[in-house]
Amino acid sequence: MKQKQIATASAAVLTLALSGAWIVQAIADETVYREYQPMLDYGDDPHVSDDHTGTYTYWKDRGAVDPDMVSSESEQWKTNWKFMDPPFDQSFHGGHLAEDRGADLFAGLNGNGDFAACLGAEDGDLTGLRANHYPQFNEELDRIMNLEMMIEHCAAEQGKTLKHGSYDNSAISVYVTTYSNDMPIRIDVSEGELKEAYERGQERFHLRTGRMNMACASCHTTTAGERLRGQALTTHYGDASHWPTYRTKDELQSLQVRFTECNRNSGTQPLELGADAYNDIEVFLNALSNGYEVAVPSARD
């Protein structure tokens, strides 16, 4: 009996060793099996009007969103939640407080104009900085940078800590982004580093991961209009235009903080904010918002 147990244990160890060797070899050969949500045809010149759900006509003008559609539980998703963006929603919420906080913090960092210059503002003018400049490939830092990452970097240049994902970092981002309000997002993904990031972002947006084997696209492509965890799923076109946003659960979130929340909800280990994969997905989503106007401070449930 004892010899049989030893033999069984030895066989189990050998099986594990062989399995481990196979996994290591598979990784080395880049043959690890991965599943993808079917990819849409996004093209090389993406634009918000290409929305695959056909709902763009209902939310292309935030100020004219149909109130009857907003109040309809079955139709509300077709508004892409844009009724919670200014100017349609004029109610006071935590996003407005964040804007005020961001203005104060920005003024304290920009006494001699260095902070604005570090962010990329010409002659201290923040107009259009979010709409036309971020995310960008920063040659000096040799990587894709979004606005929140650059705020953290520029504050650190002054010996200040404003960690990406923190309230104060997002508050400054909201304030800077207000200078792009009513300006359409324009991100050129036709060549260079941003093109490569856009293509990687497409792939990663459709890559299934985690315990539930879900991709970002699992919620936002084939199942748009259906309900999940009590919320109606919407298109990912036009979605980058209102971040950072105030969540009515009393939290200010940057877009990448929302990525981590989506990861946790789908059983996937979140990445560190500013991770290359998150940056690529952010480039991808911004490209799908090309032509759509920035609007902050916004709110979401």
User: Which tens digits make up the pLDDT trace of 32-59?
Assistant: 678 999 999 998 899 999 999 999 999 9
Which residue, 288, 270, 262, 244, is CA-closest to 146?
A: 244
Strand boundaries in 77-194, DSSP class E: 136-138, 143-145
Q: Residue 232: beta bridge partners?
A: 227
Considering the domain architecture, whether residues 11 and 67 belong to the same structural domain is answered as: no
CATH assignment of the domain containing 66: 1.10.760.10
Compute the Cα dihedral for 114, 117, 122, 125 and give only its sign. Answer: negative
Considering the domain architecture, whether residues 28 and 72 belong to the same structural domain is answered as: no
- Determine the Cα–Cα distance for residues 284 and 10; give it in Å rounded to an integer: 50
Residue with tokens 């919407």: 234
Considering the domain architecture, whether residues 76 and 135 belong to the same structural domain is answered as: yes
pLDDT single digits (tens) 106-143: 999 999 999 999 999 999 999 999 999 999 999 999 99
Q: Are strands 298-300 and 245-247 parallel, antiparallel or unpaired?
A: parallel
Which residue, 256, 266, 177, 195, is CA-closest to 229?
A: 266
Considering the domain architecture, whether residues 104 and 241 belong to the same structural domain is answered as: yes
Domain of 9? 1-33
Low-confidence ranges of the chain (pLDDT < 50): 1-28
Considering the domain architecture, whether residues 7 and 52 belong to the same structural domain is answered as: no
Within 13 A of 138's CA, how many CA atoms are on the CB side? 17
29: which 2 tokens? 């050969």
Q: For residue 69, is it within any domain?
A: yes
Considering the domain architecture, whether residues 13 and 55 belong to the same structural domain is answered as: no
**Between helices 255-265 and 276-287, what is the axis angle to 10°?**
110
Q: How many domains does the chain have?
A: 2
Considering the domain architecture, whether residues 235 and 193 belong to the same structural domain is answered as: yes
Considering the domain architecture, whether residues 121 and 192 belong to the same structural domain is answered as: yes
What does residue 57 show for φ and ψ, rounded to 5 degrees?
Answer: -60, -25
Confidence (pLDDT) at 30 = 57
Considering the domain architecture, whether residues 203 and 247 belong to the same structural domain is answered as: yes
What does residue 125 show for φ and ψ, rounded to 5 degrees?
Answer: -90, 115
Q: For residue 102, is it within any domain?
A: yes
How many CB atoms lie under 10 A from the CB of residue 294?
A: 24
Which residue, 291, 217, 285, is CA-closest to 40?
A: 217
How many CB atoms lie under 10 A from the CB of residue 91?
A: 8
Considering the domain architecture, whether residues 28 and 117 belong to the same structural domain is answered as: no
Secondary element (H or E) of residue 228: strand 227-228
Q: For residue 41, is it within any domain?
A: no
228: which 2 tokens? 């999940």
Q: Where are the alpha helices (DSSP H) in 92-128?
A: 94-109, 114-119
